[in-house]
Each structure stands twice: as C-alpha cells, then as structure tokens.
Amino acid sequence: MAPTLSSKIQRSAIVLSSTAVRIPTRIAVSPAAALHRAISTRTRGLVTSQNRHLVPSCSLQTKSFQNKSPRQVQTRWNSDEASPVKLQEWGFEDINAALPTSTPNSPTHKPIILIDVREPAELQGTGIIPSAVSIPLASQPDALYLTPDEFETRFGFAKPDPTESEGEPAQMVFYCKAGVRAKTAAQMAVQAGYDPANIGVYAGSWLDWERNGGKVEKWEGDDF
C-alpha cells in the first residue's frame, strides 16, 4: 500500500509541476495578446463612435445657428405731423368769373390773387392768365417765407396778403401747368403762415385754361 501511495504522490507532484509551468505561460502570453486585441478593438470602437457622432453634431450646430440667426425687424416710424390740409379747388368757370372786368354793372365776385408758379421760360412760351403774378416754385421755393420788404425787393411787387383786400379776405389761388406744383405751392403757403381758408388750387391749371379757351396775356416779366 505504501508503494501505491508514493506513486500517487509522485504523479500528483508531476501534474502540479506541469500546471505550474503551463499556467504562467498562459497568463503571460495569451491573456496579454487578448488584452491588446481587446484594447485595440475598444479604441477602434471609440474612434469609430466619435467619428459617427462628430459629423452629425456639427450639422446640428450649423442648423441651430441658421435657425437662430437674427431676424430682420422692420421698424415703422410714426409721424406726428398733421396730414396735408384740404384746400379749396377751383375750376375754369370759377377762375374766369373771378377775374377783374371793365364791364359796367358786372356782378361783384370774391377778390382773388392768382399766382402762377411755373418757371419764367414756360411763361414766355405760353403767356399767363390775366392779372396773375409769377412766383416760380422751383427756382424761388422760399418766396412766401420772405418778409414783405425782402419779397418786394426780389420780385418787384408787393408780397401777396389776402387780408389787405377790402371786405372779406381775398383767395390766393395757385396754378401751374397741370396742377401738381400748384398743390405743393399751396401747401407751402400754409406752412409759411397763410390761413388755409384763404388758399385755393386751380386743379386743371394752365392745360385746362388753354383747353377751355381762357384769356391769355403775354408775360414780360424778369427771369429770376
């Protein structure tokens, strides 16, 4: 029995010795290689994962930036200025009836101060409505803002003043070629301090006067 036990102990010692030799080999070589492969695989996975997520992340940031770009806001300024004053409009018959006449026993009409705001070159070619005075708008835009003395010095006649007429104030009626400049001049007269109740516009102006065969005087004034 003793030899048998001895033989078993020897065989166990050999097995343990072989195991002791093989175990370090497996731990030192195979696990290290496996660990290396595992680390490489994880690293590649991380890089791949980062690459997959970085590009969408950039596109999202760009989209967010585009969506959050500053909006263009339109600013509407409110004006406290009053709307243009509504002025009385005159027609051909009104102007023709208000012109001075030498006919005895003619009916009395409201006095009128007729102002032609066309330029001197235009008046030389067409003439002027009888009794009208020339105050060109384009070349003399400050005319009605002048003092009476300054005005007379520049134009050679008294500055129009509706209140100087006998009885009720006269009407200052502006006209031009087609009515556009006449409306502007009338509005400027109001801004210069004239009473809107005494301001009127011949809407048809010279074209309407000529079309209806109105009387014409030759203009021989100065070229301002």
Out of 115, 128, 176, 182, the active site residue is 176
DSSP 65-123: HHHTSPPP----PPP-SPPPPP-EEE-HHHHHHHS----TTPPP---EEEEE-S-HHHH
Q: Do 157 and 186 meet the contact criterion of CB atoms below 8 Å apart?
A: no
Query: Would you call 58 a catalytic residue per the annotation?
Result: no
Largest Cα–Cα separation, the chain: 177
Quote the distance between the C-alpha of residue 57 and its chain's center.
40
Residue 34 CA to its chain's centroid (Å): 74
Cα(172)–Cα(160) distance, integer angstroms: 8
* Nearest Cα to Cα of residue 201 among 117, 80, 127, 78: 117
**Which helix (H) or strand (E) element contains residue 31?**
helix 30-67
Helix axis angle for 30-67 and 2-28, nearest 10°, is 30
Q: How far apart are CA 129 and CA 217, in angstroms?
A: 6
Task: Give the catalytic positions in this structure.
Answer: 176
